[in-house]
Amino acid sequence: MPVIGTNLSDPKQEEGSINASSCALCCLVKNKKLDPIEIIPGGAMKIVRESPTSAIVSFKAGSVEPAHHHTFGHDLVVLKGSKRVWNLSKKAKYDLVVGDYLFTPAGDVHRVKYFEDTEFFIKWEGKWDIFFDEEMEVAKSEISKEADDGFELVKLEDMCDLNWLELSNVCDFATVISVKFVARSPMLPAVSHPSRAGNRFYAC
């Protein structure tokens, strides 16, 4: 099975499996020139569809998105790198790596820190906008004292193992969206398969 983030020559790809060139998201990102996000240093974005808005976004290692919210909720899938998302509205935080999915509801205030160069596909439920709820320096200060922030770190291993879903191809974003309602369930805030790393689903 193709895995997001693997190269065509990756020896871990199973013989006879579909290679990464058949992954719709990977092909979308390849050779795509992203435009700098002037209001957030280190970020770049390329909108690939308008209203509802879909985009490819990248951030450099160490970048921070100050707390902000959007009019519409959004889904995202990490294609490269790793990041942490704090949902200030829910007092929860999520560590995301390649292949992980996260849904953030409309209006939820969230802050992001990028641990390494990161790329992700994001789809809003309507037109894209952004409203900042704190200054950059405040965000960095809050992140620096994270140990005392009182946020619950949502971990995959904490989830009940009775309701796992296996996604045949996490590169198929339409399939990811089709199981979004499961990830939103309060009984199942994260969905994955215990034997397959990377295909994790979170809902704030």
Q: What is the pLDDT of residue 64?
A: 98
Residue 11 covered by a domain: no
Structure tokens that stand for 2 in this block? 């193709």
Say how far residue 71 (Cα) sits from the centre of its chain.
18
Identify the domain containing residue 190 by its residue range.
Answer: 20-203
Overall domain count for the chain: 1
Residue 131 covered by a domain: yes
Q: What is the pLDDT of residue 200?
A: 59
* Residues counted in the chain: 204
How distant, in Å, are the alpha carbons of 101, 121, 174, 176 from that of 76? 6, 5, 12, 10
User: Look-up: residue for tokens 């290692």?
Assistant: 61
How distant, in Å, are the alpha carbons of 19, 90, 110, 146, 149 from that of 86? 34, 9, 5, 10, 10
Residue 61 covered by a domain: yes
Provide the 3-class DSSP secondary structure of residue 36.
strand
Residue 178 covered by a domain: yes
Residue 15 covered by a domain: no
The pLDDT tens digits for 143-192 are 998 767 788 888 654 543 433 344 434 444 444 444 443 343 333 333 33
Q: Are strands 43-49 and 74-80 parallel, antiparallel or unpaired?
A: unpaired
pLDDT band at 33 (very low <50, low <70, confident <90, very high): confident
Residue 6 covered by a domain: no
Out of 65-69, 111-115, 124-128, 198-202, least confident range: 198-202
Residue 14 covered by a domain: no
Q: Is the pTM of this model over 0.95?
A: no
Structure tokens that stand for 173 in this block? 């974003």
How distant, in Å, are the alpha carbons of 172, 188, 190, 191 from that of 161? 24, 10, 10, 9
Q: What is the pLDDT of residue 196?
A: 34
How distant, in Å, are the alpha carbons of 51, 70, 128, 191 from that of 185? 26, 21, 25, 10
* Dihedral angle of Cα 1, 13, 202, 157, to the nearest 10 degrees: 110
| Count of helices and strands (H, E) across the chain | 4, 14
With CA atoms as reference, report the closest residue to 170 among 107, 120, 126, 95. 120
- List the strands of the sheet with 196-203, edge to edge: 35-36, 43-49, 54-59, 118-124, 74-80, 101-104, 196-203, 190-193
Residue 64 covered by a domain: yes
Provide the 3-class DSSP secondary structure of residue 188.
coil
The pLDDT tens digits for 88-135 are 999 999 999 999 999 999 999 999 999 999 999 999 999 999 999 999
| CATH code of the domain containing 137 | 2.60.120.10
